[in-house]
Amino acid sequence: MVREWLVIGTMWVVVLAGGCDSDGGDGGPGAGGGAGTTSSTTSSTSSGSGGGAQGGGGGSVLPSEVTVQLSPQTGVTGMQRVNFAVPLEAGQLSDETAVRVIADGLELSAARRGLSQRGDGSYRSLQLQVDVDVDVVAELTVQIGVPLTTSNLTMVPVEDTLLSPDGEQGPRVWVVLPAQWLSASHFAGPLLPEAEVSGAEMSWASLCDYVAWDTAAFVAAGAMTTRAVWLFDRGTVMYRGYARRGDLPPLASAYVETSMYRNLITGTGTDTRNGLPQSAAGDVKYTYAQNLALHYLLTGDDRFRESAEDIAHGMSALWSSPGYAGGADFWTERHAGFGLLAYLWAGIVTDDEASTFAALADEAVSAYIDVQETYPVGYTDTEARCFAHHADAAGEPYGYFGCSPWMSAILADALQTYVEEGGTLAAQAATALIKLGRIVAREGRDANDVPFYWMGVDTDQNEVDGYDEHIGESAYVVALAWFYDGKSDATLRSSADTLVSKLASDGVIGHVRSFNWQCRSAIATPWFLQP
């Protein structure tokens, strides 16, 4: 692996332009920069009795071929080298040469490369390049597991297929895969296509409007001057939206914004596009490897794999002590979650450091389980526990032990990924998710089903969320518990359904940062609530 940048002394850091925001608060509608209006409707291995995440819900297996749509950018005509990657299920393909690309009934010469081999030898994704006349060819069919009969092309660097090498204008030719394939592959985690969701669970389809909150809205909200709008990993939000919708708007935003993010990862210097000095070095809550890994799995662009590895190394310095010692010792579920996510996603795509990132992930999970089992000291419930820490440790003024149900969704997301990837402590992590969901289901909302912003543990004190912008996160946390507990606990199911209905009736997205968090983790809820 080649180290590119990120070094300041001995610390690798993420630096984004603009001012700093506090860790604890998130503000109400309009806070943190935004497009200003509420969104409108638009178009492995696992532990825990709920079953493996790869097959524990619908359990469908991908077919042997997929048709992708080509969409040239304005002014792009004639013969073009088209680069894309097709995500794959576990066990689907181990021979990278056994793939054909068909256009108008004829097999094309193609360059092929398997990406991110799993322990069973199968690939997570397959990078493909073909030369096509985009004035004539509008779609390609990729046949998996079929020996090729044409010659191989020589792979060219991905940047040679882009409008500009930095990626911030996207590829010359967009390649769009269907939502059913993207979601079933689990390349971005367990998700259902929007077309397969019904009832109150459709609320995410209307709230998570990827057109209203696209790159233009992101830039208008101050993407290059305000750190707050970067929160919760915009690239991952958009790539997960693409997996659910299978259309161009979220793909385009994901591609461009992940490129922007990677281009802003630096140690020193100035953003030459607007002359703003780089600031805010060393902040865990802006340190994301997942978007970079997802980009790599959809493009095969090695630069993003290397950057995902770099981010994870940086995180190991920034979040060097994942445990919590009690009192005001700084600790939040958000930081804990993004720390673990960085190690996991770097480990998923790494070409040479799998053991390093696995060890970091194991260390983090062990520390988080210890937090859950220890605090607050004297709390004796062994079945329902969150990752309790003192409010002072999160920079909150409440003065007692508790946890944040909405921030817990980020940590739950990371733990679920760890379980799905078959981590050493996967069984314990699944149990931790069950305990977390149980306490949130039992104690995480008021009499009107409004989730708490800060939920007290071993106390009757709670802080109600002042805005209807964190409902889905609580639903997600409870849904995970129901799933991993074996889908039989009626209380958990009822609580999850109540929260989903509350989201459908009251949920709002008022600004970019609100979109980022509400459409990142909780959108997986319908998958986990499948019968």
Q: Which amino acid is at 9?
A: G
Note whether 168 and 270 are same-domain residues.
no
Q: What's the rounded mean pLDDT across residues 230-254?
A: 97
Question: Which of 176, 201, 231 represents a domain boundary (last residue)?
Answer: 176
What pLDDT was estimated at residue 271? 44
Confidence of residue 35 (pLDDT cuts 50, 70, 90): very low
What pLDDT was estimated at residue 60? 57
Is the pLDDT at 525 greater than 60? The verdict is yes
Range of the domain at 94: 65-176
Cβ proximity of 100 and 146 under 8 Å? yes
Residues 6+ apart with CB under 8 A from 527: 57, 190, 191, 192
Q: Which of 516, 525, 523 is nearest to 27 (CA)?
A: 516
Residue pLDDT, tens place only, 78-132 = 999 999 999 999 999 999 999 999 999 999 999 999 999 999 999 999 999 999 9
Q: Which of 306, 285, 305, 286 is nearest to 295 (CA)?
A: 305
Residue pLDDT, tens place only, 38-69 = 333 333 333 333 444 443 344 558 999 999 99
User: Does a structural domain hold residue 181?
Assistant: no
The string of DSSP letters for 306-361 reads HHHHHHHHHHHHHT---S--STT----HHHHHHHHHHHHHHHHH-SS-HHHHHHHH
Note whether 145 and 201 are same-domain residues.
no
> Which residues does residue 226 pair with via DSSP β-bridges, in sequence order?
19
Note whether 47 and 98 are same-domain residues.
no
The string of DSSP letters for 386-428 reads ---EEGGGGT-S--SEEE-HHHHHHHHHHHHHHHHBT-TTHHH
Q: Which residues of 356-381 are buried (b: 16+ CB within 10 A; e: fewer)?
A: bbbebbebbbebbbebbebbbeebee
Note whether 81 and 167 are same-domain residues.
yes
Number of domains in the chain: 2
Q: Which residue has the tokens 């992708």?
A: 68
Note whether 271 and 328 are same-domain residues.
yes
Residue 334 CA to residue 428 CA, distance in Å, equals 20
User: Does a structural domain hold residue 480?
Assistant: yes
The alpha carbon of residue 431 and the mean position of all alpha carbons in its chain are separated, in whole angstroms, by 22
What pLDDT was estimated at residue 266? 57
Is the pLDDT at 17 greater than 60? The verdict is no
Q: Is 197 helix (H, G, I), strand (E, B) or coil?
A: coil
Share of the chain above pLDDT 70, in %: 85
Residue pLDDT, tens place only, 328-355 = 999 999 999 999 999 999 999 999 999 9
User: Does a structural domain hold residue 531?
Assistant: no
What pLDDT was estimated at residue 61? 85
Share of the chain above pLDDT 90, in %: 81
Is the pLDDT at 281 greater than 60? The verdict is no
Residue pLDDT, tens place only, 140-193 = 999 999 998 998 999 999 999 999 999 999 999 999 999 999 999 999 999 999
Q: Which of 418, 419, 262, 433 is nearest to 343 (CA)?
A: 418
- Mean of all residue pLDDT scores within the chain: 88
The string of DSSP letters for 109-138 reads PEEEEEEEE-TTS-EEEEEEEEEEETTT--
CATH number for the domain harbouring residue 247 = 1.50.10.10
Residue spans of beta strands (DSSP E) within 134-243: 139-144, 173-176
Residue 181: both structure tokens together: 């394939």
What pLDDT was estimated at residue 111? 97
Confidence of residue 227 (pLDDT cuts 50, 70, 90): confident
Residues 6+ apart with CB under 8 A from 143: 64, 65, 99, 100, 101, 102
Note whether 402 and 347 are same-domain residues.
yes
Note whether 172 and 191 are same-domain residues.
no
Is the pLDDT at 378 greater than 50? The verdict is yes
Residue 391 CA to residue 333 CA, distance in Å, equals 12
User: Does a structural domain hold residue 386?
Assistant: yes
Q: What's the rounded mean pLDDT across residues 264-281?
A: 45
Report how far apart, in Å, the C-alpha atoms of 516 and of each of 219, 237, 240, 512, 523 are: 14, 6, 11, 6, 11
User: Does a structural domain hold residue 520?
Assistant: yes
Exposed (0-12), middle (13-18) or buried (19+): which is 59, by Cβ within 10 Å?
Answer: exposed
At CA 522, angle to CA 521 and CA 527, rounded to 5?
A: 100
Residue 233: both structure tokens together: 């990993």
Question: Which of 157, 176, 195 represents a domain boundary (last residue)?
Answer: 176
Note whether 204 and 334 are same-domain residues.
yes
Residue 329: both structure tokens together: 């010792």
Cβ proximity of 182 and 188 under 8 Å? yes
Q: What's the rounded mean pLDDT across residues 464-473?
A: 93
At CA 11, angle to CA 9 and CA 12, rounded to 5?
A: 115
What pLDDT was estimated at residue 25? 47
What pLDDT was estimated at residue 154? 97
Note whether 460 and 433 are same-domain residues.
yes
CATH number for the domain harbouring residue 132 = 2.60.40
Residue 386: both structure tokens together: 């969150």
Note whether 261 and 120 are same-domain residues.
no
Note whether 44 and 121 are same-domain residues.
no
Q: What's the rounded mean pLDDT across residues 401-414?
A: 98
Range picked from 8-12, 30-34, 172-176 for highest mean pLDDT: 172-176
Cβ proximity of 292 and 311 under 8 Å? yes
User: Does a structural domain hold residue 1?
Assistant: no
Question: Which of 176, 204, 220 represents a domain boundary (last residue)?
Answer: 176
Q: What's the rounded mean pLDDT across residues 367-371?
A: 98
Residue 41 CA to residue 367 CA, distance in Å, equals 41
Residue 325: both structure tokens together: 């010692």
Residue pLDDT, tens place only, 296-338 = 999 999 999 999 999 999 999 899 999 999 999 999 999 999 9
The alpha carbon of residue 469 and the mean position of all alpha carbons in its chain are separated, in whole angstroms, by 19
Cβ proximity of 458 and 508 under 8 Å? no
Q: Is 219 helix (H, G, I), strand (E, B) or coil?
A: helix
Q: Which of 144, 175, 199 is nearest to 81 (CA)?
A: 175
User: Does a structural domain hold residue 529?
Assistant: no
User: Does a structural domain hold residue 379?
Assistant: yes
Residue 142 CA to residue 138 CA, distance in Å, equals 14
Residue 476: both structure tokens together: 């997600």
Note whether 358 and 296 are same-domain residues.
yes
Residue 174: both structure tokens together: 């967009």
What pLDDT was estimated at residue 127? 98
Greater confidence, 228 or 374?
374
Q: Which of 3, 139, 2, 165 is nearest to 65 (CA)?
A: 139
Residue 452 CA to residue 413 CA, distance in Å, equals 19
